[in-house]
Amino acid sequence: MHGHNEALFLEEISSFLGLYYLFLAALNAGAAFYLWRRGRGIRLIGPIRSFHCWLLLALLFTMIAPLAFSGDPQVMRWISLPPSVRDFIDWLMGPVVYSVGTVAVLTVLFVGRRFFVKPTVAWLMLNGALLFMGLAMTDPDFADIVRKPDNVPIVGLIYLLGYFTWLGAYLAVENDKRIQQGLPPKEKELDEKVLVWPDLVYTELICMIAVTALLFVWAICIKAPLEEPASAVKTPNPSKAPWYFLGLQEMLVYYDPWMAGVVLPSLIIFGLMAIPYLDFNKKGNGYYTIDERKFSYIVFQFGFIVLWVTLIVLGTFLRGPNWNFFGPFETWDPHKVEALNNVDLSEFFWVRWLQRARPRPPEDAGMLIKVGVILIRELPGILLLIGYFAITPAAMVVWSRFFRELFKKMGLFRYMTMMFLLQVMLLLPVKMVCRWSFNLKYFIAIPEWMLNF
Amino acid sequence: MPSLSEIIRHSQIWKSIFRHPAPVDRRNRVVVMLTNFFLHLHPVSIKKQGIALSYTWCMGGVTFFLFLVETVTGVLLMFYYRPTLEWAYKDILALRDVMSMGILRELHRWGAHAMVITVWLHMYRVFLTGSYKPPREFNWVIGVILLLLTLLLSFTGYLLPWDQLAIWAITVGSNMARATPILGHEGPGSQLLTVDGIPMITNASDARFALLGARFVGEETLNRFYVLHCIALPLAVAFLLAIHFWRVRKDGGISGPL
Ligand code: HEM
C-alpha cells in the first residue's frame, strides 16, 4: 500500500537513522577504548578479548551508517526487519503473548541474574536492543508511534529502566557474593567520611550541567506537540490519558472505572506508603542485595516493572483506535473489529452450569427482597471473592512454612494488611487470565447498584 | 599587577556576597559549607557512600533540579499565557510561531516528562537499597506523596495548551472520578445518598464536578487546573521537599550499611 509514501518516509528518517548508527558505533568504540586502557576486557577465545568484539561492532555500525544515510529504499531493505519477520511479530503479538512473554523474560533474567548481570553479557543485550530498534525504525507504522513527541520519553524510560535495573542487580549480585563469603557489603568500604566541598558539590554541579545540556538538546530537536484547538465535539480515536496514567487506562479493559480509576490507584498509593511498615526484614538496609530480601524484591519488581511499566508500554505503543490491540508494525486501522462477548460469572453459574435463568426479583417486590435476590444471583462471585480474600491468607499459613514465618513475625494485623494488598495486586493478572481463557467479564455484576467487580 | 579576577575577588562587593574565598584547605572547606545559604542544606562531611553515583544514581538531586527548572521556565511561561478559552490556545501558538528561537515550552514540557521519570528512578533506587527501612520510614511516606504530587502537576499542566490532545487526555483521566464509590454519580453506592427520593450525588455535585468545576472540561476547569498547576501544587511540593531534605539529614544522612 505504501509505494511512493514509503520512499518519502525512508528519506525523511534516513538522516536520523544514520546518526543513530554512528552513535551506536561511538558507544561501542568508547567501550572498547575504556576497557583497553584499563586492561579490563575479559578473555573470550585465545587472545581475543571482549574489547576486540566491541571494536568490531563499532566498525560494523560505522559501515551500516552510510546505508542508512542513503535513504534509498533498495539499500534500506538491507537494514530493515524483513516483512515476513514483521508480519510474524504482529501475528504473534496480542495482550496474552505480550504480558505472559514479558513475565517469562523477566523471570528468566531474574533466575539467571548471576549470568545476565555480567557486563559483557549486559552490553551485548544492550547492543541487541538498540540494533532491533534501528532495524524496526524503517517501518513507518513503528516509527510513527515511537516518534510521537509525547512518546519519546517512554522510549527513554525503557532504556533508563533497563540500565538501572541492570546496575542495581549487578551491585546486588556482587554484594550477595561477598556476603556468602562472610564479607560485609561493598558499601561498607565507603564508610570513611569525606568533605562535601569539593567532592559532593562538584558532582552535583556536573550533574546539573549534564541535565541542562540534555534538556536543551531534547528541546531543540523535538518540538512540543500542539494539535488543533480543543473541540468538545470532535473526539479523537483513540483518546489517551497522559502516558504515565496509561497503566490505569489499560486496567479499564479488565475493571470498571470505579476500580481502575479510583480504588486501585488509592490502594497503590496506600500500599507504597505501607511498605516500610510491612517489610520487617532488618537486612538489606543501605546496600544493594537481592538474596537477603528476595521476597520484597520480587514483590516490588512485579508491581513496578510488570504491572506499572509494562502496562504503560502496552497502553502507549500497542493500543490503537477503540483501544484495540495492534502489533508494533501494524497500521492503526479504526475499523478493526474485535469480537467482545464477555460473560459474567453469574451467567456461567446459573445459565451454563445449572441450565436455568438467572434469578430475577419480581417487579413489585420490596426493597429487601430485591437485595436478597440480587445477592443470591451473585452468590458464586461473592463467595469466590470472600474465599479469595479471607481463606487464602489462612491457607498460606497452614501450608507454607515461609508464610507461617511471616505470620509469626508480623502479627495478625500486619500480616492481613500485607496479604490484602498482595492479593489485590495479584487479582489484576488473575482477572486478565480469566478474561483471556474464558472471556470472564465480572466476578460480581450488579449493574443495579453500578457495582461491577 | 593583580589580575582582573583578583581585583574582583578582593573588592568589597564580592566579599560582601561571598563571605569566603574559594576554599582550598580543610578548614575553609568546612567553613564554606556552614556560611553559604545554598550549601547549608548539606552536611559538612559525608560518608563516601553518599556521594557514590553508583549508589544514589543522583536521582533525588536530579529530580530536585528539574523541579527548579520547571519553576523557572514555568514562571517565564506565565508571562505569556492567559488561562481563558479565548487566549489559552492562541498564546501557546504564539509561543511557537512568534517568539524567535522559542524553546521555552519545550524545556518546560520535556522537563516535566523527565521529572516524572527521574522520580520513579529515585523511588526505585531507594527501594533497591532498602533505604526506606528504619529510621527512614516516614521519609519514604513523604516521598510517596511527592510522587503523587509530581504526577498531579504533570496532569494539571497537560490541559493548559487547550488543544485536542489536552482536553481529551484530561477528559479520559477525569471521567474516572465519575465512578468514585459513593461520591461519583456513576459510582457504586451513590444511590445511597438520597433525600426524599432525590439523589444528592448528580453530575453537578459529584467528585468529578469538584475536580472540573463543571459538568465537562470547560473554562472553569481550565481555571481550576491553572491555579492548581501554578500555585497550589508547587507550594505543596516545595513544603514537602523542605521536610524531605530535612529528614534526610535528621535520619542520619544518606543510608548505608550499619
Ligand atoms: C519531587 C520528588 C523528590 C525529590 C526532589 C526528592 C529528593 C531527594 C534527595 C535529593 C534525596 C537525597 C539522596 C538522593 O539523591 O538519592 C532524597 C532521599 C530520599 N528520598 Fe526522595 N525525593 C523525591 C521523591 C521521593 C519519592 C517518590 C520517594 C519514595 C517513594 C522518596 C524517598 C526518599 C528516601 C527514603 C530518601 C532517603 C534515602 C537514603 O537515605 O538513602 N523520595 N530524596
Average pLDDT value for residue range B4-15: 88
What distance separates the 2 farthest-apart alpha carbons in chain B? 93
Spatial separation of the C-alpha atoms in residues A197 and A205, rounded to whole Å: 11
Spatial separation of the C-alpha atoms in residues B3 and A17, rounded to whole Å: 50
Spatial separation of the C-alpha atoms in residues B231 and A308, rounded to whole Å: 29
- The minimum-distance atom of ligand 1 relative to the CA of B129 is 41
List domains and CATH numbers for chain B: 1-40 (no CATH), 54-250 (1.20.810.10)
Chain B closest-CA separation from residue A57 CA (Å): 27
Q: Grade residue B179 by pLDDT with cuts at 50, 70 and 90.
A: confident
pLDDT exceeds cutoff 60 at A435: yes
Residues in B touching A207 (Cβ below 8 Å): 58, 61-62, 65
pLDDT exceeds cutoff 70 at A104: yes
ipTM above 0.90, yes or no: yes
Predicted TM-score (pTM) of the model is 0.93
Alpha-carbon distance values, A19 to A8, A25, A156, A158 (Å): 18, 10, 17, 20
Q: What is the pLDDT of residues B85-138, one digit of tens each?
A: 999 999 999 988 887 777 899 999 999 999 999 999 999 999 999 999 999 999
Q: Do A269 and B148 touch (CB under 8 A)?
A: yes
Q: Do A241 and B111 touch (CB under 8 A)?
A: no
Residue among A325, A109, A285, A386 at smallest CA distance from B252: A285
b (16+ CB within 10 A) / e for A87-97: eebbeebbbee
Chain B closest-CA separation from residue A411 CA (Å): 18
Residue among A287, A299, A296 at smallest CA distance from A179: A287
Q: What is the pLDDT of residues A25-46, one digit of tens each?
A: 999 999 999 998 887 777 777 7
Spatial separation of the C-alpha atoms in residues B46 and B36, rounded to whole Å: 17
Q: Do A263 and B131 touch (CB under 8 A)?
A: no
Confirm or reject contact between A115 and chain B (CB < 8 A): no
Sign of CA dihedral A173, A174, A180, A185: negative
Residue in B with minimal Cα distance to A151: B113
Spatial separation of the C-alpha atoms in residues B44 and B41, rounded to whole Å: 10
Q: What is the pLDDT of residues A141-167, one digit of tens each?
A: 899 888 888 899 999 999 999 999 999
Contacts of B67 (CB under 8 A, 6+ apart): B115, B237, B241
For A325, phi and psi rounded to 5 degrees? -85, 135
Task: Please give the pLDDT value at position B215.
Answer: 86
b (16+ CB within 10 A) / e for B215-231: eebeeebbebbbebbbe
Identity of the residue in B46, B113, B155 whose CB atom sits nearest the CB atom of A153? B113
Place of cell 462477548: A341
Q: What is the pLDDT of residues B238-254, one digit of tens each?
A: 999 999 999 999 998 88
**Ligand 1: centre distance to CA B143 (Å):** 6
The share of chain A scoring above pLDDT 70, in percent, equals 99
Q: Grade residue A1 by pLDDT with cuts at 50, 70 and 90.
A: very low
For A338, phi and psi rounded to 5 degrees? -120, 125
For B103, phi and psi rounded to 5 degrees? -125, 20
Spatial separation of the C-alpha atoms in residues A67 and A74, rounded to whole Å: 10
Alpha-carbon distance values, A157 to A165, A312, A313, B53, B251 (Å): 12, 11, 10, 19, 31
Confirm or reject contact between B129 and chain A (CB < 8 A): yes
Q: What is the pLDDT of residues B36-93, one digit of tens each?
A: 777 888 888 888 877 888 899 999 999 999 999 999 999 999 999 999 999 999 999 9
Residues in B touching A279 (Cβ below 8 Å): 132-133
Q: Are A281 and B250 in contact (CB under 8 A)?
A: no
A residues 280..339 contacting B (CB < 8 A): 281-289, 293, 297, 300, 304
Spatial separation of the C-alpha atoms in residues B189 and A224, rounded to whole Å: 42
How remote is the C-alpha of A152 from its chain's centroid? 16
